[in-house]
Amino acid sequence: MNLKNNFMETEKKILRTPLRIAISLLVVGFLCKILHFTTVANPIILISLAAIGVLYAWRFWKKTKKGFLQYNKLILVASWSLNGIFKILDISHNDFFQVIGSLAFIIWIIMEGTTYLIDDKDDNRSDIAYFMWNTMMIIGILAIIIGSLTKILEWEYATPTLITGFILVAAYVLKDLLVQNLQKKE
C-alpha cells in the first residue's frame, strides 16, 4: 500500500456530499446559462460557487495534516470560486484570480492530477464498469471543453455538445454520490 492511500485512510474526507451537491447545482446553473435562462442561472451559479468556496475552506480548516498540495488545492478552489463570483457580479480585476487559478491548476496537474484521476481505493469494483464510467467522465470533460470553444466560435453544434458534456459529468458525479450513500447504508 502506498503512502497516498495510507494517508487517505487515516484522514477521512469531510463535507464530501455537500460539495458534490454544490458542484451538481453549478452544472445545473451552467446548463441554464447555456440555454439563456440568465435570471435563473446567475443566482444558482453564484450560490453554488460561494458554497463550494466556503465548504472547501471549511474542509481544509478541519484537516490535521496540511502540505503543499493541500494549500495548492485550496488556492485553486478559492481562486476559481472567486473568479466566477466576480464575473457574475461584474466586478473588475478578476484576471488576477484567473492567473492564480491557472498556476495552481498547472501545479496540481503536474504533481497530483494524473494519480488523483487514476488511483482508486475501492478494490471491490468491476474493472469494466470503472473503465466505462471514467471514460464517460473524460468524454464529458472533453465535450465541455470542445463545446465551450465552439460556442465562442458560434459553431452550429456547440450547444448540444456542451449540454452533452454537462450531462455526462453530472451523471458521473451523481453516480458516485449514490454509490457512496448505498455503501454507507450497507
What would the pLDDT profile of 73-129 be if each residue is shown by its tens digit?
999 999 999 998 998 888 887 788 888 988 888 887 777 755 555 555 555 556 677
**pLDDT tens, position by position, 53-63:** 999 999 999 88
Confidence of residue 11 (pLDDT cuts 50, 70, 90): low
Q: Is the pLDDT of residue 46 over 90?
A: yes
Cβ-based neighbours of 106, under 8 Å, separated by 6 or more = none
Q: What pLDDT score was predicted for residue 186?
A: 66
**pLDDT tens, position by position, 124-170:** 556 677 777 777 888 888 888 888 888 888 888 889 999 999 998 88
Q: What pLDDT score was predicted for residue 1?
A: 41
Q: What pLDDT score was predicted for residue 121?
A: 53
- Average pLDDT on 46-59 reads 94
Q: What pLDDT score was predicted for residue 116?
A: 53
Q: Is the pLDDT of residue 45 over 90?
A: yes
